[in-house]
Chains A and B, each alone.
Chain A
Amino acid sequence: MEITVKVFGQLAELLSSSQLEFEEVTDTDELIHQLQQKFPAFRSATYAIAVNKKMISGNTILYHGNTVALLPPFSGG
């Protein structure tokens, strides 16, 4: 199973990459947990989550080939 995580804005700096690959992850909660373990600073980040380009508001099951996007808020103008 392969899950691609796309990371936007300042989150990419926090996670040191704009794209990460995961193999063993069953749902979005577990994915977030794994990211928090790997990148402690990610715990305090604010972001919206999309699975296959659709925003989600609760835990969502992930399938092989899914792309998860993590999008932080931007305020600059």
Chain B
Amino acid sequence: MNQPNERYSRQIVLKGFGWEAQQKLGAAKVLVIGAGGLGCPALQYLAAAGVGHIGIVDDDVVALSNLHRQVLYAAEDIGRLKTKVAAANLRGVNPEIKVTEHPILLDRDKVLELIKDYDWILDGTDNFTSRYLINDACALFKKPLVFGAVSGYEGQVAVFNVKDAEGWASNYRDLFPQRIREEEVLNCTQAGVLGVLPGIIGIMMAAEVIKLITGIGAPLTNSLLNYHLLTNEMYIMALTPSDVGRSLIPESEESFLQLHEQSLFPFVNKVREIDAQELILLYQRPSVLLIDVRDHGSRPVVLNFEHVKIPISAIKEEITGRSEQAFVLFCQHGTTSVRAAAMVKEVWGSSREIYSLQGGLMRWITELNLVH
């Protein structure tokens, strides 16, 4: 892209933007972590705007229940890797940019490797373990991070690790110093989400990235915006430094790895994910306990194989008293069950076999004869 290009003519003509800003976008490397409800719209607009190099991180595959909000995917993509479908889509929208696929589960080692290759990070993940991992890695390397999250009808957006006029740069630990336990807050599967909300928040995140890269306007530096879909109310709060938060930010790669060793990631990596056929085989073995970690009343309903219901919030406590030799955990999409299985692994180590149903019940409805 060496000269003004018709593709970008409508934004180049903008007062205060121009060819200079367009060149900055073309030279930028943005890593979008999580290609879900927030990641999809952000990716679409970053690619269309001409961000020169976009990386996409996600280890998940497309599921039917994603389609109402994850607008890069079509019905025919169900079961395919999100990174692959998203990347193909973005290359179609804008063949002039480079798109790199990272179909991996982000862990403490990979996050350090990955963010070194990019200048701007966008966190569109859906759990606190990932969010603190990304926050701490970005704070360590002083990488500008655009944060976004949704809950119910509300969303939050913030910009971290960008210095203000006084030279101060905030991060998520200035807001919530101690890592939040997953069970403290409902996720989208449990609480539900209206598709347009992550759409709005994801696009606001993309707008913040574009503002930061091009230097236009006033990004949400050291601020947190709360958006309420039902009332259209936006509430912006200024962040202030937290001594506790500061003391918890790792000062070196070694201390980062140590801090996140206590997270579930080492255990997540050791959880074996199985498909429906393996589940059926395991079910026929003696001393195998099947565990539904979804909330009570979830659908699809499991009627045709015996199991117990233990929500993730109670798993550690309940699992210690069980005498079975193997545990098979399942949930809606296979993400909560991996985390729950990691918690079981933390309790039992390698003295028990621990499995998680990959892709969850939604992927295996036919194979497992489930009732919608």
Contacts and interface: CB of A to CB of B under 8 A. Distances in A.
Contacts of B191: 10, 76
Interface residue tally of chain B, by bracket? 35 or more
Do most interface residues of chain B lie in helix, strand or loop, or is the interface mixed? mixed
A38 interface: no
Given A6-B235, A77-B39, A55 B151 contact: no
Contact of A55 (B37, B125, B149, B175): B175
A55 B148 contact: no
Nearest to B150: A76
A48 to B, nearest CB: 5
Contacts of A46: 176, 180, 184-185
Given A9-B154, A10-B185, A73 B180 contact: yes
Given A46-B184, A48-B176, A56-B240, A75 B131 contact: yes
Interface centre among A10, A48, A76 (most CB of B within 10 A): A76
B126 A74 contact: no
Interface string B202-236: 00000000000000000000001010100000011
Interface residues of A, number: 20
B50 interface: no
Contact of B226 (A8, A10, A76): A8
Interface string A6-38: 101110000000000000000000000000000
A59 interface: no
Interface of B: 34, 36-39, 124-128, 131, 148-152, 154-156, 174-176, 180, 182, 184-188, 191, 193, 198, 224, 226, 228, 235-244
A53 B240 CA distance: 11
Contacts of B38: 77
B240 A75 contact: no
A69 B149 contact: no
23 contacts: A9-B152, A10-B152, A10-B185, A46-B180, A54-B237, A55-B174, A55-B175, A57-B244, A69-B235, A73-B128, A73-B149, A73-B175, A73-B176, A74-B150, A74-B185, A75-B187, A76-B149, A76-B150, A77-B34, A77-B38, A77-B148, A77-B149, A77-B188
Interface in A35-73: 46, 48, 50, 53-57, 69, 71-73
A75 B180 contact: yes
Given A10-B186, A77-B39, A54 B238 contact: yes
A53 to B, nearest CB: 5
A28 B157 CA distance: 25
Contacts of B126: 75-77
Contacts of A77: 34, 36-39, 124-126, 148-150, 188, 198
Nearest to B131: A75
